[in-house]
């Protein structure tokens, strides 16, 4: 089928929940993807910060193929080697004690809130304005953006919101029924918003002082995306609970909750579960992905190429008045404009580069961590061309 055929079938048979670009992708390799009509693109979006090790990474592909020949799925009523090996690896790279494996970031955040309530025996969680934690009903409630709540009321209760970056505002919201705080170290969907320098440290200190849990959503920022294995490392904090997904599986769906032992032990048999979470195939893919990140020093490459990318975008900022700001860490970079950026994304795609628009006016760049300098240069040349015409 060609692109037109696929789009026609999608319109007829698929629920229209996505604002799609008119592209039908068929394959990828490294930081490149091709559509069904054979056109090549530099992928600077990486499946929404999922393909951290690139498309079709040989180590991940081999792990999936080898595991598929043995076992795809196993109920969590039984033990599997793949699950415990991955859990051990996650604890080793994160300094946590226990892991719960699930299928997505939203599910991980749901589970984290559930664990926090079970451990503290308190109901409320303080979240941030402009945040994003997932599409389930409870995580829409946790998300600090009204547009995701519109039309699906009533919204579950138990979530309070305060301005991102304001520790005093959080302190004012804490009461006798506060279980903890849930925060993104960098707000990805909110527009790649970077917090004030000491915000996360002060927030953790506040949580410790008030004896509530400090929970960090690393779904988009984890596994080398920001130039560190976890973005929390940039800000020098260790959370009580951290949620993960996206880059964990090298493109295969998997999520998880990381927690200190005394918190994790609040969950007893039957308190929580998932049919597909921690299945052998997902665990094999995740183990291979993490090993690739470490063996190929992709966190270092994210720092190096991210700095180069960001510096070049700053040069464009000096050139074009429509650019308000350039921010981010590693290969999670946002360029904020003073105009809506959806049309720019389409024009850039026409020239063979895939980027993303978030928060209406922020161009988001989140390429695979193995992207090369010459691919970044092509991306910048294309963006320069497009910005020159719209400025």
Determine the pLDDT at residue 233: 98
Distance separating alpha carbons of residues 137 and 303, to the nearest angstrom: 36
Q: Tell me the β-bridge partners of 256.
A: 101, 244
CATH 3.30.365.10 given to domain 59-295 = no
Between strands 98-102 and 32-35, the pairing is: unpaired
Read off the pTM. 0.97
d(CA 283, CA 222): 17
Angstrom CA distances, 278 to 49, 57, 283, stand at 21, 21, 6
- pLDDT confidence of residue 89: 98
3-class SS of residue 190: coil
Average pLDDT, the chain: 98
Write the CA distances from 177 to 166, 174, 194, integer angstroms. 21, 8, 29
In contact, 81 and 58? CB cutoff 8 Å: no
Catalytic residues: 132, 217, 246
Edge-to-edge strand ranges of the sheet holding 362-365: 323-329, 332-337, 362-365, 356-358
Query: Which token pair is 139?
Result: 């995580």
Among candidate residues 254, 229, 231, the one with its CA nearest the CA of residue 183: 231
In angstroms, the CA 371 to CA 71 distance is 33
pLDDT computed for residue 333 by the predictor: 98
Q: Are 102 and 113 in contact (CB under 8 A)?
A: no
Q: DSSP labels for 33-44?
A: EEETTS-EEEES
pLDDT at 391: 86
User: In the chain, what are the domain boundaries?
Assistant: 59-295
* Residues 283-330: tens digit of each pLDDT: 999 999 999 999 999 999 999 999 999 999 999 999 999 999 999 999
The string of pLDDT tens digits covering residues 211-267 is 999 999 999 999 999 999 999 999 999 999 999 999 999 999 999 999 999 999 999
pLDDT, averaged per 10 consecutive residues of the chain (391 residues), comes to 97 96 97 98 98 98 98 98 98 97 98 98 98 98 97 97 98 98 98 97 98 98 98 98 98 98 98 98 98 98 98 98 98 98 98 98 98 98 97 86
Structure-block tokens of residue 379: 């991306």
- Within a 13 Å sphere around the CA of 262, how many CA atoms are in the beta-carbon half? 3
How far is residue 147's CA from residue 384's CA, in Å, rounded to a whole number?
31
Task: Reply yes or no: is the peptide bond before residue 317 cis, omega within 30 of 0.
Answer: no
- Please tell me the predicted confidence (pLDDT) of residue 269: 97
Identify whether the C-beta of residue 240 lies closer than 8 Å to the C-beta of residue 113.
Answer: no
Residue 165 phi, psi dihedral angles, 5° rounding: 95, 0
3-state helix, strand, coil in the chain (%, to 5): 40, 20, 40
């Amino acid at each position: 089928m060609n692109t037109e055929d696929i789009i026609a079938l999608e319109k007829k048979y698929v629920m229209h929940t996505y604002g799609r670009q008119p592209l039908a992708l068929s394959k990828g390799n490294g930081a490149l993807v091709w559509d069904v009509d054979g056109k090549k693109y530099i992928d600077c979006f990486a499946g929404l910060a999922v393909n951290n090790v690139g498309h079709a990474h040989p180590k991940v592909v081999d792990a999936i193929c080898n595991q598929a020949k043995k076992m795809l799925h196993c109920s969590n009523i039984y033990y599997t080697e793949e699950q415990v090996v991955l859990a051990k690896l996650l604890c080793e790279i994160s300094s946590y004690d226990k892991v719960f494996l699930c299928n997505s970031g939203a599910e991980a955040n749901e589970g984290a809130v559930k664990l926090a309530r079970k451990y503290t025996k308190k109901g409320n969680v303080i979240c941030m304005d402009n945040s994003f934690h997932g599409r389930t009903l409870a995580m829409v409630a946790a998300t600090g953006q009204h547009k995701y709540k519109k039309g699906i009321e009533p919204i579950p209760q138990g979530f309070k919101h305060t301005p991102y970056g304001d520790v005093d505002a959080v302190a004012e919201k804490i009461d006798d029924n506060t279980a903890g705080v849930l925060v993104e170290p960098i707000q990805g969907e909110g527009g790649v918003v970077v917090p004030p320098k000491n915000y996360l440290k002060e927030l953790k200190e506040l949580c410790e002082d008030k004896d509530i849990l400090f929970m960090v959503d690393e779904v988009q920022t984890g596994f080398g995306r920001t130039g560190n294995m976890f973005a929390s490392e940039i800000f020098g904090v260790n959370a009580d609970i951290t949620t993960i997904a996206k880059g964990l599986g090298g493109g295969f769906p998997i999520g998880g909750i990381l927690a200190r032992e005394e918190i994790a032990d609040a969950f007893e048999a039957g308190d929580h579960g998932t049919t597909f979470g921690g299945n052998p195939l997902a665990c094999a893919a995740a183990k291979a992905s993490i090993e690739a990140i470490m063996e190929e020093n992709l966190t270092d490459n994210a720092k190096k190429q991210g700095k180069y990318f960001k510096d070049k975008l700053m040069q464009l900022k000096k050139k074009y008045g429509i650019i308000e700001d350039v921010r981010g860490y590693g290969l999670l970079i946002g360029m904020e404009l003073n105009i809506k950026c959806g049309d720019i994304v389409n024009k850039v795609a026409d020239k063979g580069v895939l980027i993303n628009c978030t928060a209406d006016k922020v161009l988001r760049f989140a390429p695979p961590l193995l992207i090369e300098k010459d691919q970044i240069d092509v991306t910048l040349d294309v963006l320069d061309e497009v910005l020159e015409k719209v400025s």
